[in-house]
Amino acid sequence: MGVLNVTPDSFSDGGLFLEPGTAVAQGRLLASEGADLIDVGGESTRPGADPVSVTDELERVVPVIEALAAEMRTPLSIDTSKAEVARAALSAGASFVNDVTALHGDAAMAGVVADAQVDVCLVHMKGEPRTMQDDPRYDDVVGEVRGFLEERLELAIGAGIAEQRVWLDPGIGFGKTLEHNLELIRRLDEIVAIGRPVVFGASRKRFLGRLTDRPEAERVAGTVAVNVLALERGATMFRVHDVAATRDALRVAGATLK
């Protein structure tokens, strides 16, 4: 899953692709590097990020999705927690909804996904972007994340979303300390055991900077390493900024797991 942030303030690439033409060109690049899905987002979910209005989010993402859908076969995802944005993005050509609130942020979101009969990713996040890194605490981070995802999966099914349409994401970096992230990675197989495909999104994140002492743009090697570990523990999809490097690493690692 290639990351395409159409925002001024995302943690790694904020402002780089805010102009629609530049965003479309980046989408083409992600596709050429081998992305199986391009995740377009118009609202930053970095720690401390402020919310964005529906109008602003629509203005950012819809033209980009329309342009990409008109010229490429690579499927498109909309990264949003707003039902109105999801509905417009799906009409514009997206076919996947990536909701960091796991259908909790907007009560209408489950109905939008169910009616459109598209895939959805349910992400674990403790709190909200503005507060999620304010001293997050767990008694057992893996057990609590697993329980949350199981509960949201049941809610999605109850709302009419087919179980085979649901993907799960443990939310690396979303309300977790370095130690929490590492424990989730060590025990990722417990999340995989829920029985739905797992999306793993650790690309360039702060905990990698803590471990390597490198800024966002220089965390490619760390991102590749942690994605290979996640592959070995059962993750299915990998949300990354650096598609080519990650894809090569996963192909090599995957060849040893057959």
Chain centroid to Cα 229, Å, comes to 18
Chain centroid to Cα 27, Å, comes to 16
SS3 string of 174-224? CCCCHHHHHHHHHCHHHHHCCCCCEEECCCCCHHHHHHHCCCHHHCHHHHH
- Residue 205 among the catalytic residues: yes
Biggest distance spanned by C-alpha atoms of the chain: 48
Dihedrals phi, psi of 53, to nearest 5 degrees: -70, 155
Please answer whether residues 17 and 23 qualify as being in contact, where contact means their C-beta atoms are separated by less than 8 angstroms.
yes
Tell the burial category of 157 from Cβ atoms under 10 Å away from its Cβ (0-12, 13-18, 19+).
middle
From the list 165, 196, 239, 247, the catalytic residue is 239
From the list 126, 165, 204, 205, the catalytic residue is 205
Q: Is the dihedral of CA 196, 109, 79, 119 positive or negative?
A: positive
C-alpha dihedral, 107 to 130 to 141 to 172, nearest 10°: 90
Beta bridge partners of 38: 2, 76
Phi-psi region of 30 (alpha: psi -120 to 50; beta: other; left: phi over 0): alpha
* List of residues 6+ apart from 96 with CB closer than 8 A: 37, 39, 75, 76, 77, 78, 118, 119, 120, 121
Q: So which residues are the catalytic ones? A: 205, 239
